[in-house]
Structure 1
Amino acid sequence: MREKLLASLQAKPVTVSSTLLTYYTQLGMTNDELALFLQFEYVANQDLTIVAKNMGISEQIVLKILQNLMTKQLVVMQQIVLGDGKIDLQYSFEPMYQKLVTLLMQAPQNKKETVNASDIVSIFEQEIGKPLTPMELEMLQGWLFEDHYEPDLIKLALKEASLNQVTSLKYIDKILLSWERKNIKTVAQAQKQSEQFREQQKDSQPIINISENMTDILMQNWLHEE
């Protein structure tokens, strides 16, 4: 019986960014608002009845907390199309992630010039043609504050990916990893390497149209090209 209970408790873990747990108060979030966010990550279909029951509060209080989050511009309502074609409304925490990235990227790192988060996020969203997802925002954050890539180097990797008509962040990550393995630290070094890479590609391969099924091949080229 004990083993079954332990297995049940360990089932369906909720994955939460440690960065959010560290900085949620700087976003203006209260403990109740963070708890509500965690419930929304866990409860299917954002069922307010279940959320209220899990938190031990009424649905009216849940709605009040959501209204506070919307007032703080951490949550928005968005339309989604269901499988049967009907339109439904859901709460999105996308603004919270955007503000978190902005907060992190505006913090001076090692006394270097402050990074303008809005600019770099806007550049990516404009190039990709859609808003960045929470997972993509976390990846962008990781490049800056875990891998410590220079913002200009990240922008150049985005440009290189665009030239290959593959703008997924996974592909951009492979480009950055390739440069890191070659100890490339500056934009000038990366540009020189990219020119050499394209020349080798031109000499060894015919001109082709890039499609989605070529993404993995391009990634392998970036990782193994010497």
Structure 2
Amino acid sequence: MNYYEEYRNGHLILPKALMAHFSVLFPSSDDFLVWLYFYDNRDIAPSEIAKKTGKTLKEVNQAITALQNFGSLKVTLLDLSGEVETIFDVSPVFQHLDELLGTTSDLAVENQSENKGQLDDLVSTFEAEMGVISPMQLDELRALLFEDHYELALVKLALREAVLNRKLSLKYIKAILRNWKNEGLTNVQAVENKQSDFQSSKAHTPQQDFYIPMDGPWS
């Protein structure tokens, strides 16, 4: 198992190799300090890092930008019910370290290739309906597949539902996926079974008699 896989499994102590390749993994020691806080807790707020390190919030945000540009940190913005949540991911450092040491496993290479194929497939499907996908939308699609772990076919089905309802937006599509997830519908078959049961129940609901009062002003 390589460094990246160890990190993803949640039991990685910072390796000595990281220090040996420090200059190619981080833009500066100050930026590394900010990265280290996200390594310990990816949900920590930049303002809290500023307080703990004695830096200004501006300096912390500048470090975050430097880490992003250097490829040491991935920042993803998620729109959750109208509120934007920021996700800080330090794993690119371990991927880069594995590349430097030549320890990327065959399984990791295979998974990366498979993931790229799925993402390319999804982007192609979305662009057929929505036009060219922006970089931010690309990150959102990537998050749906590889962070939220929605099946590719299920995301495509949510896109179809959005098209049918003429509400073609990623926000609406993510709301559909969340609703299905909350109902325990985690694959296409489960959704289609649910929809089939709903249509069947509608067809078998007895129609109520329409009553017209005899003493009304109808004659």
**Greater Rg over alpha carbons, structure:** 2
Higher relative contact order (CA 8 A, sep 6+): 2
| TM-score normalised by length of structure 1 | 0.41
| TM-score normalised by length of structure 2 | 0.43
